[in-house]
Amino acid sequence: MPLLSIEQLQVEFGGIRAVNQVSLSLEAGEIRGLIGPNGAGKTSIINAITGMVPTRAGRVLFENRDITSFAPHDVSRCGVGRTFQHAEIFPDDSVLDNVRIGVDHHSQVGFLQAAFGLPAARKAESETRSIAIGLLEAFALAPWHGQRAGDLPFGLLKRLDIARAFATRPKLLLLDEPTSGMSEAESKLVVDQIVALSRQYGTALMVIEHNMRVIMQLAERITVLQSGMVLFEGTPAEVQSNHKVIDAYLGEEMTDA
């Protein structure tokens, strides 16, 4: 049984078909790449899975459960996490609090326990803090834990977004261009940590990425999209040698690089 399966998914914006009859499935713990030129529908697929845009047709099944019409927070509650292309962090909160909000996903602390600062709440609070600090350390963000998140440069915000998404310990994490705007060294650190954490938590990954070197190393399988449709699916080696993919996408990308 696949962890996630998308069947004949269709997403439209004002008559424009952003995602057209896309079907794909993902096994538990798998690392999947999602590539394609701009406007191929990659982010729209993530938005559709997480319930942030309505689907026109098709189904999204997660652990055999139809989550197509779920609200975004319910999708998250099922164990599907995501990051954002432009790092949607909470700017006024501290870096630590950003990650703590992710860790809170599993908190059992009740309202009255929190309101009266009962021992159970305080104990949970210190556990939350140490888990969050651990994740900040993994992404080399610990020195800024007390800083207002909105004051950090973009590369750090991307790392924060990823750390926060892992904090919810998702079964499936959808990463939207995790290394964009990062230097080579920074992107290596991030990719290493993503792989390490996904192994540790058993998290399956679906990664949108424009950096071909990153995605070819990271992904076990890659789905290539073009104009909202699946062009090809295979191992990184198969993708790199496929003529359709080279003609449509990799060719220009390789000459760019």
Helices 95-103 & 119-138 angle (0-180, nearest 10): 110
Does position 206 bind other proteins by CB under 8 A?
no
Give bridge partners of residue 5 from the DSSP assignment: 25, 61
Give bridge partners of residue 208 from the DSSP assignment: 34, 176
First to last CA, the chain: 39
Site size with other proteins, rule: CB under 8 A: 51
Does position 104 bind other proteins by CB under 8 A?
yes
Contact pattern from residue 52 through residue 71 relative to other proteins, giving x for each residue in contact according to CB under 8 A and a dash for the rest: x------------------x
Alpha carbons 182 and 189: distance in angstroms, whole number = 10
- Cβ atoms of residues 171 and 1 within 8 Å: no
Task: Scan residues 138-177 and list those touching other proteins (CB under 8 A).
Answer: 140, 143-144, 147, 151-156, 164-165, 168
Does position 114 bind other proteins by CB under 8 A?
yes
Instruction: Return the half-sphere exposure (C-beta side, CA atoms, 13 A cut-off) of residue 30.
Output: 19
Does position 50 bind other proteins by CB under 8 A?
yes
Minimum distance from CB of 146 to other proteins (Å)? 9
Instruction: State which residue, 1 or 185, has the beta carbon closest to other proteins.
Output: 185
Alpha carbons 149 and 187: distance in angstroms, whole number = 20
The residue ranges that bind other proteins (CB under 8 A) are 50, 52, 71-74, 76-77, 81-82, 84, 88-93, 97, 100-102, 104-105, 107, 109, 111, 114-117, 121, 125, 128, 140, 143-144, 147, 151-156, 164-165, 168, 183-186, 189
